[in-house]
Structure 1
Amino acid sequence: MDKTIHLLIKKPEALDREVRIIVTSMFPDFDLSRYETALADVGRYFAGEQPGFRACDTPYHDWSHTLGVLLATARLMHGVHADRQEFSQRTVDLALVAALFHDSGYLCRENEEGPGARFTRDHVRRSIDLLEEYARSRGWPMEDFMDMECMIQCTDPARSPDAIVFPNFEVMLASHSLGTGDILAQMADDVYLEKLPLLFMEFSEAGITDFSSEYDLFLKTLGFYSLMRSKMRNKLSNVVASMGTHFRIRHGVERDFYSEAAVRNMDYLAELLNNLGEEYASGLRRRLDRDEHPIILAA
């Protein structure tokens, strides 16, 4: 009999359900109230339903990306909790909220000129600022906010994790889980290559000139993947090694499907560039609005 494992769950209700299953398997009495409130509120931010904010207009760093990072982070923390370091309920709770806010800095307030992509360079700082504003409105302890600030800082591509001061080892591992989840959720996406033109569009709107063309971004993505793989292993405590533990406990198969999917994407990208060159786009055939392509395993 075949078993279907959904790597990237793209229906919000199903993804929320999976996150709940994961955290309550770690802590049967887990208090989901803060997570539930933040999930609903951040969803409204991205939808433009929160007073003073416009809907998200960044096509790459959108609500779907945020939810993908949320799930990858929960899965990683589950694996780390099982085979390396037991987390407290509080730290898991804070990491879920930090994942929800980690790219909220792309959102535009009503009095700001868009598009949101123009905030690419400082979106991490803006995300932290919005989280602080939100935490104060909810009456959360400052200590909670400061721990979540560390977690979000680990998603900053321009900042080395070595430069972040963590209050303790547990928060560091949670932060590294979020930083790793941010990388994996993107590069393992079954439409990652199809979404790269959207990323180039955001870079162009931000005035980032690291890539001379969309083709140049595709060419440099292979090198970027190598850098991210090294970063996950050497700068983010190699928490990526615990992803297989999560899938073993949750699904009975000890494999890191995220890393495997990322490698498949890179292999196909190399094939496209080698065979088609600047006509690479003709080999991108997956629709951005498609459902996830499930991984089928022999049970």
Structure 2
Amino acid sequence: MAGCAQQVTMDVTGTVNVSDAQAVCNAVMGILTVRYPGYDFTIISTLYKDFAALYSGNYPGYIACETPYHDVQHVLDVSLAMARLLDGYDKSHSSEQQLGPELAVLGMAVALFHDSGYIRSSDDKTTSHGAEYTKTHVSRSAAFMAHYFPLVAMAQWVKIAEKLVHFTGYELPPESITLANPKHRVLGAMIGTADVVAQMADAAYLNKCRDRLYPEFELGGMLKQRMADGSEQVIYSSAEDLLAKTPGFIKTTITERLDGHFQGLYRYVEAHFGGTNKYMEALENNCKHLESLLAKNDPELLKQTLHRPE
């Protein structure tokens, strides 16, 4: 299976190359330094540099990213969405309610390493592909950050980060994550929001579900579910079946996660963009485009390039 794609991929605005860590770092720094003038964001450059090294196989003790869906571009896209949400949220709140620059740095760090659990260590003898960690990758990401954060003077955030990262996955129900500080819960919900909207707004999202996510699910044991009586229930019988179920998944995710657990925080990106929500517009267009293809009931359509019309 092919590894992480390195082709040029633009963000939802068509202005930032989200396959280039330095380009995204520059964009994020531009957002944060304007939002929090006078704060030293040198750590952000360090985080992006180490992220790029980790995913390219140049970080000591780890091999390069192998997962074609949860790849460099996905994470960079999420991190850019996170910076935009942070900007919009703090732009919309009083100084007392704002998250502020320190929590912004923490949020960016968790966003950048939220999928690090897919990365295998160079001495991994138990698996042959990072996708085999699909079911446990969030906990593994927490473990990576517990190791990494002290190396970049962020040791004080380890315990919080270990909880925040679980807003991006399904290992723990969001309501079961205990956080004493309400701002930390907002930050976790924001990270979860960025993870959802960035990937679902991607112009290539539908192709990626079929051609990249399904193979990951296959390696990760996600195609079938063991029932209480010992029987197996098929969740996805094929890549086309996954596509057929994607509109329902998108709508459920909006209702239960974005509007539910994550408190509708996606709306704060509108303050960043000056009133529009490019992520939700693109997400909803992806869903409508796929529904229109499915309505034609032509299997051949689902084998073609599925990029939505721009």
TM-score (norm 1): 0.88
> What is aligned with 2:56?
47
Write out aligned runs for 1:154-173 (5 A): 154-173=167-186
- Is 1:260–2:268 an aligned residue pair? no
| 2:218 aligns with one of 204, 217, 224 | 204
User: What CA distance in whole angstroms lies between the structure 1 residues aligned with 2:182 and 2:90?
Assistant: 13
- Is 1:187–2:185 an aligned residue pair? no
- Is 1:10–2:18 an aligned residue pair? yes
- Deviation of 1:34 (Å): 1.7
Contact 1:8–1:68 (8 Å) recurs in 2: no
- Write out per-residue CA displacement over residues 159-193 of structure 1, whole angstroms, 9 at most, x where no aligned residue: 32111111311111111111000000110001001
Amino acid paired to 1:153: H
Write out aligned runs for 1:61-210 (5 A): 61-84=70-93, 85-112=97-124, 113-142=127-156, 144-197=157-210, 198-209=212-223, 210=235
- Deviation of 1:126 (Å): 0.4
Amino acid paired to 2:286: N
- Is 1:20–2:29 an aligned residue pair? yes
Find the residue that maps to 1:154 and give its secondary structure: helix
Amino acid paired to 1:42: F
In structure 2, relative to structure 1, the CA distance for the partners of 1:121 and 1:7 (3 Å cut) is farther
- Deviation of 1:105 (Å): 0.3
Contact 1:8–1:189 (8 Å) recurs in 2: no
Contact 1:7–1:257 (8 Å) recurs in 2: no
- Deviation of 1:32 (Å): 1.4
Find the residue that maps to 1:121 and give its secondary structure: helix
- Deviation of 1:8 (Å): 6.2
- Deviation of 1:138 (Å): 3.5
TM-score (norm 2): 0.85
Contact 1:244–1:255 (8 Å) recurs in 2: yes
> What is aligned with 2:264?
238
Find the residue that maps to 2:296 and give its secondary structure: helix
Amino acid paired to 1:92: A
- Write out per-residue CA displacement over residues 121-159 of structure 1, whole angstroms, 9 at most, x where no aligned residue: 0000000101101123334333x1122222211001343
Find the residue that maps to 2:63 and give its secondary structure: coil
- Is 1:35–2:44 an aligned residue pair? yes
Query: Is there any run of 5+ residues in structure 2 with no aligned partner, and where?
Result: 1-11, 224-234
- Write out per-residue CA displacement over residues 254-280 of structure 1, whole angstroms, 9 at most, x where no aligned residue: 110100000110111001111144223
> What is aligned with 2:227?
none
User: Identity of counterpart residues, as a percentage?
Assistant: 30
User: What CA distance in whole angstroms lies between the structure 2 residues aligned with 1:146 and 1:76?
Assistant: 23
Amino acid paired to 2:277: D
Contact 2:31–2:87 (8 Å) recurs in 1: yes
- Deviation of 1:100 (Å): 0.8
- Write out per-residue CA displacement over residues 66-92 of structure 1, whole angstroms, 9 at most, x where no aligned residue: 100000111111111111441121100
Contact 2:202–2:283 (8 Å) recurs in 1: yes
User: What CA distance in whole angstroms lies between the structure 1 residues aligned with 2:64 and 2:208?
Assistant: 20
User: What CA distance in whole angstroms lies between the structure 1 residues aligned with 2:56 and 2:213?
Assistant: 20
